[in-house]
């Protein structure tokens, strides 16, 4: 009886190592909480049944070490105010770009090594309009696919708000 248990333990340990490696290097899944990315991404709620009604996305991490992101990508990042919290926002501007802050007359140039992120639902989003440009090192991956619920499965498109950013070529 010990041999089948040992076999099962070895297989389980191997599967766990593969899963951990995959989520550390290749990508991971995130559940959308909050309204800041509506209508692109829909929120789930805290309880399990309601959680299944919200979007679950896959984000790839391969772009992260080289900061290979594009303006308009939806990204997963660590909150600059609470490092234990992950956020999902749209990358609006990269280092050197000039950003016209929506709803104000402010214009900011993005410093080297930083980027500007915003939620698609600006009225309900805590983003760079509140905390300014964020370090690129906080960006953990690019959202590529909505994987749940079934009727919303599909690519997450790269979209950039018109007239908000003046581009430069230092990136």
> Where in the sequence numbering do the catalytic residues fall?
36, 89
SS3 state at 28 = strand
117: Cα separation from own chain's centroid: 10
What letter would DSSP give residue 110?
Answer: P
Find residue 166's DSSP bridge partners.
Answer: 98
């Amino acid at each position: 009886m010990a041999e089948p248990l040992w076999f099962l333990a070895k297989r389980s340990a191997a599967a766990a190592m593969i899963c951990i490696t995959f989520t550390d290097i290749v990508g991971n899944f995130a559940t959308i909480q909050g309204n800041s990315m509506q209508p692109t991404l829909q929120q789930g709620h805290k309880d399990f049944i309601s959680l299944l009604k919200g979007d679950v996305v896959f984000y790839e991490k391969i772009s992260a070490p080289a900061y290979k992101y594009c303006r308009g990508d939806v990204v997963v990042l660590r909150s600059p105010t609470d490092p234990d919290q992950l956020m999902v926002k749209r990358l609006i501007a990269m280092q050197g770009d000039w950003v016209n802050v929506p709803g104000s007359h402010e214009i900011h140039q993005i410093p080297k090594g930083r980027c500007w992120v915003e939620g698609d639902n600006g009225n309900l989003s805590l983003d760079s309009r509140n905390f300014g440009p964020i370090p690129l090192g906080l960006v953990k991956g690019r959202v590529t696919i909505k994987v749940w619920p079934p009727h919303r499965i599909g690519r997450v498109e790269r979209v950039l708000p018109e007239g908000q950013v003046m581009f430069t070529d230092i990136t």
